[in-house]
Amino acid sequence: MSEKTAVLLLTPEIGRLPEDMGTLARFISGKSGGMGEVVAALCEGLRERGIDCHLGTLNLKKRFKEECGLNEEQWRDIRYKIDPDRIHLVNASFISNLMSAYSGNPLLNAAEFQKQMVNHIIKIVRAKSGGRLILHSHDWMAGGAITAYAKATGCPVLHTIHNVHTGQIPLEMLFGVDIGGLRDYFYISADQGQQTVDCQATAIKNASLINFVGVKFMYEILEDYFLDRSIVSAAVRQEIKAKYNHGATLAILNAPSRLMYPEVCPFLVKNYGPDDDVLAAKKENLVAFQKKTGLLVNPEAILFYWPSRLDPAQKGVELLEDIAMRFVIENGDVQIAIVGDGVGRDRKHEETLGRIAVASGGKIVYHHFEESLSMLGYAAASDVFGASLYEPCGQIDQIGNLFGATATNRDTGGYHDKIKELNIQGNGADHPEGNGFLFRDYDSGGLWYALTKSVQFHRHDAALRESQIKRIMNETRHLYDLSKMIDEYVAVYERLNGNQPLS
């Protein structure tokens, strides 16, 4: 039995895990969204400090097999012969063939995740540490019954809000869980005549502390932004305000894992860092990316790179569709690359961007998400851009800056926190500052305006651009250093541990 207080991270998705999470780690991790990446970074940082860190996630067998290039027999050998150690997988036949936690029936996936955590996994991890356990739940899927159970049994919870989406799980889906004992801790809603558990509101209600991954987005919710859109439910907004009024809200900015840096990224044709000839390295990666994607091969092109999902509810893909062709026509030195999938079963935007790409004659390309292509795109990019309506944190700007690209996006949420307007010496600034370009209005004119500012910068001579890009790369490494993020989380864990160290 361990004398340390254990930390159990619960997440429906996970990025590339550090090897010291156990041998199984390299078989169940891969590219995911920002939430999965920050959880992976947390695992990396906590293990480096000797903290007893555990991970609970879904066993997406089909995806794990494909990402590792394994057949069924090889996968079976891994699962039967490797001690999972600190990794706790939720298994179910209807989950094993999914490529994502949100595929299939997300409510059914969430209910199974919560049932197995409550009935088995939390008890196992807690017993191994002599009852000393802190739960760190991520996203609505790791809320609901899990956080209600933790509250009922006296286990402290930090709940991180990566997004404000929620899921309404019908009570009957939680069959096997002690509903009677947890009912007082649920946030119960009515959905189509059924009693349901609002998983995000329940998580916020029961958490000892809640954490946002950006300061601006937290205040946007508290100050009643987006009331005209169904972004934040009334229940979630109400519970967030209650926590804030009780001094139980925090904001810790995400930091990328060190495995995301261009010095070590395995998908580049030329690795590089801020002390190298950055523009030369980026040109090599640009040409390789152009050849792989079907862009016209031109090492001098200004490449604007969109690495986000094609989400009209959040990411502003319709603004991109409106201006992409006109923008590359009016700016002959510009190319645009989009690498990302549609949302759920919606293929509308994939088809639209595919048609735009074909009509562009090699100036615009669209490809489905694939990790190696996506990461090569960052190394090729002059600017990494988006057009978000709202953004809890965002990560594409950080990764773009790490890889020596400027960042362009709307002035909201996490992009307000992290993108500062680029000013070069002699252009109204006492000294060089900033890392990208922002626009205010959520319309295609706003996006056009910001991209035009970026083009103007990238047309400067190479020496000036190189000095600014290197400055941005170095500042990003300093501002979003993983160890700083881990320091903040460890301080929160120790607060939940009665102001005692975790070991």
Judge contact between 202 and 144, C-beta under 8 A.
Answer: yes
pLDDT value of position 67: 82
CA dist 412 and 410 (Å) reads: 6
Of the candidate ranges 7-21, 147-161, 177-191, the one whose mean pLDDT is the lowest: 7-21
pLDDT for residue 33: 67
Sheet holding 334-339, edge to edge: 364-367, 334-339, 302-306, 383-385, 406-410, 436-439
* pLDDT value of residue 31: 59
User: For a pLDDT cut of 90, what percent of the chain falls above it?
Assistant: 74
Encoded amino acid at 140, one letter? W
Q: How many helices (H) and strands (E) does the chain have?
A: 20, 16
Residue 35, pLDDT above cutoff 70: yes
pLDDT band at 1 (very low <50, low <70, confident <90, very high): low
Residue, of 15 and 151, whose pLDDT is higher: 151
Q: How many CA atoms lie within 13 A of 164 on its CB side?
A: 28
pLDDT at 427: 57
Q: Does residue 36 surpass a pLDDT of 90?
A: no
Q: In terms of Cα–Cα distance, which of 118, 210, 202 is closest to 168?
A: 202
CA 390/CA 453 separation, integer angstroms: 21
Q: What's the rounded Cα separation, in Å, for the pair 451 and 434? A: 15
For position 2, what pLDDT does the model report?
63
Q: What number is the average pLDDT over the span 235-241?
A: 96
Please choose, from the candidates 252, 277, 212, 255, the residue with its C-alpha nearest in 3D space to the C-alpha of residue 478.
255
Residues 6+ apart with CB under 8 A from 385: 304, 305, 306, 407, 408, 409, 450, 451, 454
For the chain, the first-to-last Cα distance in angstroms comes to 13
What is the average pLDDT value for the chain, to the nearest integer?
Answer: 92
Q: Provide the CB-side half-sphere exposure for 157 (13 A, CA).
A: 29
Average pLDDT rounded to a whole number, residues 4-25: 86
For residue 333, pLDDT beyond 70: yes
| pLDDT at residue 428 tops 70 | no
Question: What's the pLDDT score for residue 259?
Answer: 80
Q: Which pLDDT score, from 0 to 100, does residue 475 have? A: 96
Could you tell me the two tokens for 183? Answer: 């009912």
What does the alpha-carbon distance between residue 213 and residue 424 come to, in Å, rounded to a whole number?
29
- Please spell the DSSP secondary structure of 311-369, one letter per residue: -TTTT-HHHHHHHHHHHHHH-TTEEEEEE--BSTT--HHHHHHHHHHHHTTSSEEEE--
Tell me how far apart the alpha carbons of residues 266 and 259 are, in angstroms, rounded to a whole number.
9
Give residue 269's Cα distance to chain centre.
25
Strands 188-191 and 194-198: antiparallel
pLDDT 10s digits, 159-183: 999 988 899 999 999 999 999 999 9
pLDDT in tens, 293-312: 999 999 999 999 999 999 99
CB 346 within 8 A of CB 370: no
Model's pTM, two decimal places? 0.90
Q: Which of 84-93, 107-116, 392-401 has the lowest mean pLDDT?
A: 84-93
What is the average per-residue pLDDT within 224-252? Answer: 93
What's the DSSP call for residue 5?
A: P
Q: How confident is the model at residue 26 (pLDDT cuts 50, 70, 90)?
A: confident
- Segment among 15-19, 226-230, 253-257, 288-292 with least mean pLDDT: 15-19
pLDDT at 295 (0 to 100) = 98
Task: Note the pLDDT of residue 23.
Answer: 81
Q: What digits encode the pLDDT tens for the residues 400-421? A: 999 999 999 999 999 999 999 9
Give the amino acid at 500: Q
- For position 255, what pLDDT does the model report? 87
Q: How many CA atoms lie within 13 A of 296 on its CB side?
A: 17
Largest CA distance in the chain: 69
Q: Which domains does the chain have, with CATH numbers?
A: 6-255+482-496 (3.40.50.2000), 259-479 (3.40.50.2000)
Per-residue model confidence (pLDDT) at position 343: 86
Cα gap 298→26, rounded to integer Å: 37
